[in-house]
Amino acid sequence: MKALRIYFHPCTSTSLIRISFQCAENQACKRNKIFIALALASALSLACHNTAAAQELFVPNTNNVDSGTINAYSTIDGTPVPNFVPPQLQGAWSLAISGNSLYAMSQSSSKITEFNGITGATISGFTSPSGFYDPAGMAVWNGDLYVAALSTSNNEAKIYILNAATGSEISSLAVPNSPTSLEGMAVSGSNLYIVASGNQYLNEFEIYTLNVSTITPIAGFTSPSSLDAPQGIAVSGSCLYVAESGNNTIDEFNAFTGATIISELVTGLDGPRGLAILGNDLFVGNVENDTIGEYDATDGSPVVGFTSPSGVSNPGYLVASPIPEPSTWVMLAAGVGSLLVFRRRRRS
């Protein structure tokens, strides 16, 4: 083989790979062409898939205390995700995701259920603990599930730390400054952010210190004074986004200091509650008009092409995450297998 030329058009609706060889016309050369073509096609398919269809938005549709579902929608256009069967969950309220594990909290029963984020099937082995009520935000970090809720024994606002695989309680720690009502929760790096609507409370805590007897706010972060009934919260890098139901806006703050970056980044909402960020896109659930909106996290403008899904009802704390579908793994396996076979044939 003297030369190899590769031409491709990446990530378009008409993806094309053309491989040009200059070599002797023999069977070995022809087989090598096929192996390399398969590998490159698999890699291209994986790259394109992960930047589009693999990104999913999970929404708990609370409906009412006697019913509820968890739905998965495309972050591109808001259409339902194929192959995901929406599980039924009474009073579906709050979600957290880690890998293919989707954790859902029921507001009515205060119980947590683990679902498969690809299919929607219930995953066995996770047992929801007892001892708390009025659950709000959840987040997963380092193999543990963090839950913001009130204690059934003394109505104290606490962060419950659970084993994400089994549901067993590791510890429960009182939130400093005694907020009256916990709402959204978010994790970024080693920091845990929590928000409450009762007293405009917002702060961050170092997750590394949460497994001891107390938790302490990080020095240098000051809760913004302009909050008006904050609900959902999302963090990306140094940017902290808060959905405020009191003035129907999303505000942007510095995630390390609490200083305002953009006041009223997004306006004209209708009872915003759940908030999630994926890449440069913000997703918010409006409880007053049962809609989901997608906005540019830089300037707050609506994202063109996304339409609020039909059937949304009293959306809770939603999450967005890139979850590879089965076809992605099939293509990746085919590419890796082709390369291994190619290398073995060359050595022989």
Q: Determine the pLDDT at residue 195.
A: 87
Task: Give yes or no: residues 290 and 242 share one domain.
Answer: yes
Domain count, the chain: 2
Indicate whether 290 and 340 sit together in one domain.
no
Residues 337 and 263 in one domain: no
Alpha-carbon span 235 to 254, nearest angstrom:
10
Separation of alpha carbons 159 and 249, rounded Å:
27
Q: How many helices (H) and strands (E) does the chain have?
A: 2, 23
Whether 251 and 151 share a structural domain: yes
Return the CATH number at 269. Answer: 2.120.10.30
Using a 10 angstrom Cβ sphere, with 0-12 exposed, 13-18 middle and 19 or more buried, the burial of residue 344 is exposed
Give 52-99 as a DSSP string.
TTTEEEEEEEEEETTEEEEEEEETTT-PBPTT--PPB-TTEEEEEEET
Q: Are residues 24 and 163 in the same domain?
A: no
Taking Cα atoms as reference points, which of 125, 130, 196 lies closest to residue 165?
125
In this structure, the answer to whether residues 27 and 66 fall within a common structural domain is no
Q: Are 73 and 81 in contact (CB under 8 A)?
A: yes
Cα angle 207, 212, 213; round to 5: 125
Residue 251 domain boundaries: 57-323
In this structure, the answer to whether residues 79 and 152 fall within a common structural domain is yes
Per-residue pLDDT of the chain (348 residues), as tens digits, is 444 443 333 333 333 333 344 444 555 555 555 555 555 545 444 444 343 335 899 999 987 556 799 999 999 999 999 999 999 999 899 999 999 999 999 988 999 999 999 999 999 999 999 999 988 899 999 889 999 999 998 888 899 999 999 999 999 988 887 787 888 999 888 889 998 766 777 888 777 776 667 777 888 899 888 888 899 999 999 999 999 999 999 999 999 999 999 999 999 999 999 999 999 999 999 999 999 999 999 999 999 999 999 989 999 999 998 654 444 445 445 555 555 554 555 555
Give the pLDDT of residue 108: 86
DSSP state of 218: P
